[in-house]
Amino acid sequence: MDCSTIGKRVPQLGSLEKATGEAIYLPDIKLPGMLYGKILRSPHPHARIVHVNTEKAERLKGVKGVITAKDTPMIRFCIIPQLANKPPLAVDKVRFIGDEIAAVAAEDEDTSEEALDLIAIDYEELPAVFDPVEAMKPKAPKIHEEEHNIAAHIVREFGNIESGFKEAQYIFEDEFVLPGVTHCCLETRGCLASVSRSGRVTVWSTTQTSHTLRPRLAHVLGIPVGNVRVILARMGGGFGSRLDMDSIDPIAVFLSKKTGRPVRLINTRDEEFVSSRIRYPMTIHLKTGMRKEGTISALETRVITDNGAYNNQGTSVTGGIGTKITYLWAIPNTKLDAYVVYTNKPFGGAFRGYGNPQLTFALESQMDIIAKKLGLDPVEIRLKNVNKPNTTVASRSNISSCGLTECIREAAQIVGRGKTKEKNRGIGIACLMHTGGGTKVFFGGNTNYSDSYVKMTQGGTAEILTGACDLGQGSDTVMAQIAAEVLGLSIEDVHVISADTETTPQCLGAWASRQTYVGGNAVLRASEGVKRQLFKAAADLLEADWKDLELKDRRVSVKGLPERGVNLGELASYCYQNGIPLASRGFWDDPVSPKPDPVTGFGGSPTFAFGAQAVEVEVDRQTGQVRILKCIAAHDLGKAINPMAAEGQIEGSVLQGIGYALMEEMVWDEGVLLNPNFQDYRAPFIWDVPEMKTILIESNDPDGPFGAKGIGEAPLIPTAAAVANAIYDAVGVRVRELPITPGKILRHLRNQKE
């Protein structure tokens, strides 16, 4: 297909404003009379709140309001409503260090900070538990008013696991340990709230889901949804951390309601570390049955997930593993047996990959272990087990487009696998699958939709109204490219208004790599509606059959007769002068995925992204240091609407994956986070960036806009496994616990000698 905008390397909309510092972020927004809020957080991992005295804080000059749980409806929240057990402010007891207890609003931040020190709280400290295995024991301290600390026991079986193991000639078992890590967004989370005299609430929030935050916020506030307006503040990163409502959102509203003035709350970096959602720590045990030719007959996965102190997305992240194990490799018989367990630590949430980085590290590490024991090449064993296009997997999801075979071959060839390598250098490969278009399972509903409006101005330019949330990944730019392609415009002719619940139509937001696929389809449909209106008007004006018309370069003309046409500015003016509307709605809801079954776990996504990464590493046997020399990332994204943006997503994801592989880990001691800052929490720096090559495999998904599917999360998922496999190839050390630190490598090397 000959395209003028799709497939072109287009800079992100708003990039100039970001580069020059003109872009407005939440800390830049100041409303008249605005107050500055601060939250008092628990210093104890588990304690009963005996008494709270706020009198001294309230008398401090400059303080305009102090709130505790008694100033709120005390309604608990969770992304899955039936599991809600987190109040915005602690009601009776605190369950982790950082739990919110009270909040103040004052004329300046220093006064708010001083007021926190004046709030007196009497605690009755309670026994705490920090290890999920210990928390499962009958005599462990109870974190909630339940008979045990097991938040959920999830069993998912597809096919027949027993017959699958009987079919196997070999059975392999391995266990892998994955740590808690945090998102490291450059901008911390915040909310600015303003409550009018009539009770209408407006919030500017660093959210990935403005339209789904709205009803959740209304529920916790105890007011009608129509009384809440959510506006997406420009964001400095999200990666899933801003997917669900945080206590900071309702707390800002409660403070504004009490003081009668706008209140802005923004986390400090330390607060962001101790209180925000994290990637769920997991222990994963794999039992895999292999046929002698190297194909998998059965895979049983046992998981223990550290849920943290409250429910959020632990059950959906863990339960989703049950279906994810059926997507990457063609395994006819699978079973998940998982426990999600409360501990007195910060609770987890969504983080780029949604459980898949944990699972894939285990799966792809074990795939290399098996290949070594069976004497098979790691590339060939993967090619034997790939899922193919137009197949239905064991969990009943349909794989439409799939370029995994091409990804594996490209990555392996370019990295130089099979060639003679230098001492202490190794090459590793790992593959991935992830949703490329959202899922119906996520919110517990049967929808995966986006709504949009496209309208044309009298000057012949276009405006898009979409509920999709751009959190820096460039979804506004992709929407503009889609509309520009359909309407024969340049991207400069398209203006995007997004993620304001009062002015834009519904969209479920930015999660599950869905915006290009789902939001893009909605914009595509709306743009095609406007194009039909233009053709109808142009047919009358040009006295031609609309089927003979074409639209490109801001002009509608008769095919083969470019001189017989009209430019869009003139045509739009003609339409409005004659009462012809140039606006159209585009609604898209996933027609492909099977509806989720909460009992069996059957369900899935409308399309899947696939990929393979190959890395070359060098390991210093004296220090255990790992240097990543090269990374080849081959990814099937259907169609690259904006190759430059896709490459940026891949490169950023790979670097995040390197952090997960080698350095990132939240370290707790009795519930105290020991590294709550960028000095002590080791994340990748510019000198950690290896030589990278991205390969965009275009499989052209039949249902995606122009064949596209999502690429936002996928490239992070296989990196850690590829690094682990390369380290083994270099020095024969197999580390099953992330991060792979120099100390762990040295211990394995010593054991190897002994």
For residue 242, count other CB atoms closer than 10 A to its CB.
30
Q: What is the pLDDT of residue 595?
A: 67
> Which tokens is 298 given?
């059965």
The domain made up of 15-22+449-589 is a member of CATH 2.60.120.330: no
Q: Which of 418, 394, 196, 382 is nearest to 299 (CA)?
A: 394
User: What does the DSSP assignment read for 293-340?
Assistant: TS-EEEEEEEEEEEEESS-SSHHHHHHHHHHHTTTSB--S-EEEEEEE
**The domains spanning 15-22+449-589 and 282-441+596-753 adopt the same CATH topology:** yes
CA angle, residues 59, 30, 243, in degrees to nearest 5: 95
Residues 15, 21, 27, 32, CA torsion sign: negative
In the chain, which residues have pLDDT < 50? 442, 444
Quote the CA–CA distance of 690 and 421 in Å, as a whole number: 18
Q: What is the pLDDT of residue 593?
A: 67
Decide if 665 contacts 735 (C-beta within 8 A). no
> Which tokens is 386 given?
């790939």
Q: What is the pLDDT of residue 591?
A: 81
Decide if 443 contacts 79 (C-beta within 8 A). yes
Q: Which of 152, 435, 158, 449 is nearest to 316 (CA)?
A: 152
Q: What is the pLDDT of residue 1?
A: 67
Q: Hey, is 69 helix, strand or coil?
A: helix
Domain ranges in the chain? 15-22+449-589, 33-126+186-237+242-275, 282-441+596-753
User: What does the DSSP assignment read for 685-750?
Assistant: -GGG--EEEEEEE----TTSGGG----SSGGGTTHHHHHHHHHHHHHS----BSS--HHHHHHHHH
- The CATH architecture that domain 33-126+186-237+242-275 belongs to is Alpha-Beta Complex (3.90)
* Residue that the structure tokens 């991992």 belong to: 45
Decide if 716 contacts 357 (C-beta within 8 A). yes
With 0-12 / 13-18 / 19 or more C-beta atoms within 10 angstroms meaning exposed / middle / buried, residue 730 is: buried
Which runs of E-coded beta strand occur in 545-590?
Answer: 549-552, 555-558, 561-567, 583-589
Length of the chain: 754
Quote the CA–CA distance of 371 and 732 in Å, as a whole number: 14
Decide if 701 contacts 607 (C-beta within 8 A). yes
| pTM of structure | 0.96
With 0-12 / 13-18 / 19 or more C-beta atoms within 10 angstroms meaning exposed / middle / buried, residue 578 is: exposed
The domain made up of 282-441+596-753 is a member of CATH 2.30.40.10: no
